[in-house]
Amino acid sequence: MSDLATLRAEAETLARQLPDLSLQAEAADLVHPGAAGRKRAGSGEQFWQYRRYAQTDAADRIDWRRSARGDEYYVRETELETARTILFWTDPNAGFDWRSDHSGPTKADRARTLMLALGILLSKEGERIGVLNGPRPASLGKTAPDRLAEDMLVKGSEALTPPKSTALTIVASDFYDPLDSWRARLAPLAAKCRHGILLCVSDPIEHDFPYSGRTKFSRPGSTLDRIFGRAETVREDYLARFAAQREGLSALAAQMGWALVTHRTDEPALHGAAALLSALQQFGVKA
């Protein structure tokens, strides 16, 4: 696992290579519909918009001047109150924190770098960022990227517990567990988070299966292993199963209404970050 300084430096370098982000005002996703206030002159208290009054709001929050124009009550909110929330999750399994070439990144390290780079840009646009089921709530402001980086390096739970409030969620893994297992784990999250991305990161050796002769295979974090006398004889079957798993994962993402982004650790990190950005654009993010 990368240390905090390395993760932050790599993500900052990557973020500088990506275009600035600007979230569209798709209020139906995360806030109640309403009329915009004044033109954006800054952030925080300087920008506000109206939304319909909810039973959970205190009566003194009602804007009577705006409400007098119609039959409904309206509340005025600042930009800080309407910031969109983006949550990130990295598979904590030992198999994801693995690499075939010790000179390159592990799958988990690359995933964290890509997601933190996006988080840095999103934070600059005033969005709330954090780790799904992380040790701290999502945050915004100048310190948010630092908090996100720190929380990403805390070994988290395998559980994909839905957040209390709606958020756009990015789930990073190699997704090698059975698809039925992933379907069951992701269903509650997808029900709460209408928009999301599955970030599938793989090692190049997992695509090529370059083994031959007597080879012992083991799964990181497990005591189980298996020896093949002629590993090359199972290559065709392995590649077929690998392709089937990817096809199934793509179908699962489509069923959920989420996007799928695939990335290999031997590819430039910028390619993966750009693909993530492109996927985010489907859900209201413009470059």
- pLDDT, one tens digit per residue, over 152-185 is 999 888 999 999 888 999 999 999 999 999 999 9
- Copy the structure tokens of residue 45: 């208290």
Question: Which of 58, 100, 86 has its CA nearest to residue 283?
Answer: 86
Provide the pLDDT for residue 126: 86
What gap in Å lies between CA 70 and CA 79, rounded to an integer?
A: 24
In angstroms, the CA 275 to CA 244 distance is 22
The mean pLDDT of 188-200, rounded to a whole number, is 96
Query: Residue 115 burial by CB count (10 A; 0-12/13-18/19+): exposed, middle or buried?
Result: buried
Is residue 51 very low, low, confident or very high in pLDDT (cuts 50, 70, 90)? low
Distance separating alpha carbons of residues 256 and 245, to the nearest angstrom = 17
Helix segments in 99-178, DSSP class H: 107-124, 144-152
Q: What is the DSSP letter of 233?
A: G
Rounded to an integer, the average pLDDT of 92-102 is 92
CA-based angle 61:66:70, to the nearest 5? Answer: 115
Distance separating alpha carbons of residues 54 and 29, to the nearest angstrom:
16
Higher-scoring residue by pLDDT: 175, 37? 175
pLDDT of residue 98: 92
Query: What's the pLDDT score for residue 60?
Result: 74
Nearest 5°: the CA angle 144, 148, 152 is: 175
Does position 15 have pLDDT exceeding 80, yes or no? yes
Fold of 4-23+83-286: Rossmann fold (3.40.50)
**How are beta strands 196-202 and 168-173 bridged, if at all?**
parallel
What is the distance between the alpha carbons of residues 35 and 30, in angstroms, rounded to a whole number?
15
Residue 248 CA to residue 142 CA, distance in Å, equals: 39
Quote the CA–CA distance of 120 and 145 in Å, as a whole number: 5
Selection from 55-64, 78-87, 233-242 with the highest mean pLDDT: 233-242
Q: Report the pLDDT value the prediction gives residue 48, as an integer from 0 to 100.
A: 57
Question: Residue 231 pLDDT more than 80?
Answer: yes
Taking Cα atoms as reference points, which of 68, 26, 29, 31 lies closest to residue 52?
Answer: 31
Strand (E) positions, the chain?
22-23, 48-52, 74-78, 85-90, 128-131, 168-173, 196-202, 215-218, 225-228, 259-264, 285-286
DSSP letter for 137, please.
-
Residues of the chain with CATH 3.40.50: 4-23+83-286
pLDDT at 25 > cutoff 50: no
| Higher-scoring residue by pLDDT: 144, 287 | 144
Range with lowest mean pLDDT among 38-42, 97-101, 184-188: 38-42
Which pLDDT value is given to residue 287? 41
Q: What does the DSSP 8-state code read for residue 185?
A: H
